Amino acid sequence: MNGTAMNGIGKMEAATRMGFAARGIMYLLIAFLALWWGRAEDGPDALKLLDSGAGRAILAVMALGFFAYGIWRLAEVFIDSEGHGSKAKGLAVRAGGTVSGIIHLGLGVYTARLAAGQPAGASGGGSGGGGGTEEGAATALSLPGGEWLLMLAAAALLGTAVVNLVKAIKGSFLKQLDSRAAAQDWVKWAGRGGYAARGVVFAIMAWFFWKAGAAASAEQAGGLGEALGWLTGWPRMAVAIGLGLFGIFSLVEARYRRINDPKVLARLQNAGRRLTP
């Protein structure tokens, strides 16, 4: 791989690490709002906390990070940059990267608009959030077989919940970190707590989407904010703490995630050769 290509990959890696940091800040804001002010918000609504003064400079950097992270996740799908393979399990993981990539590109657009002081559009109002989720559900219901589309989304969310819970139990996420960070007990428990909390939230969201599909009612669909708001008492506090731990773990990933693994670079090089006339 020539120097120009390596330089490009280096810049992309740096920007992707910014994406992990941006994700970490977003989850920390969600946890802060839930634990300090008792507000259950989704990611976009939590980002509004930075929508003033110096906070907009932070939002601008976060927007770049979200864009880079989204592109990186989409790269998993098209060129298998993480080497998941083409078997059923690998294809399922890569398909999940498509959803994550699109979501983070959307977060990049939303955050960039906030940073520019422009109206970012409705992302869910009130303490429950989920307005954008309801709009998406309503769009799905307007299509032929919309109810089944929502039920399919519910199944996908449930699958994501299971994947997160399995990661929490097995600690498999440590394999993606530099050994110096993976050896730290606090990193392991931050990751476990974070993935467990996300598993709970995604499971609740799956239930919301299933009900929305079964009743053909977009109002019953809900995002992260509504899932968190559905919980009460100590379960909500425990999940909020877990989401905060996931924010901390994401910041660890920003520094120690194995992005420039030699095997990944080799796959990128091979992909580049295939794309070159």
> In sequence order, what DSSP letters do the residues of 222-261 get, joined into one string?
--HHHHHHH--HHHHHHHHHHHHHHHHHHHHHHHHB--S-
Please give the pLDDT value at position 183.
94
Q: For CA atoms 50, 55, 61, 64, give the dihedral sign.
A: positive
CA-based nearest residue to 257, from 185, 191, 159, 200 = 191
What single letter denotes the amino acid at residue 182? A
Give the model's pLDDT for residue 270: 56
Query: How many domains is the chain built from?
Result: 1
Q: Which of 11, 44, 266, 194 is nearest to 133 (CA)?
A: 44
Range of the domain at 202: 3-275
pLDDT of 263: 56
pLDDT of residue 168: 96
Q: How far apart are CA 73 and CA 87, in angstroms?
A: 18
Amino acid letter, 87: K
Backbone angles phi and psi of 120, in degrees to 5: -95, 0
Residue type (1 letter), 113: R
Distance CA 91, CA 93 (A): 5
State the 10-residue block means of pLDDT for the chain, 277 residues long.
51 83 96 93 92 91 92 74 57 67 89 85 41 77 86 89 94 92 96 97 94 88 92 95 97 88 54 47
Listed in order, strand segments (DSSP E) in the chain are none
Cβ count near 45 (within 10 Å): 27
User: So what's the pLDDT on residue 85?
Assistant: 55
| Whole-angstrom Cα Rg for the chain | 19
pLDDT at 210: 94
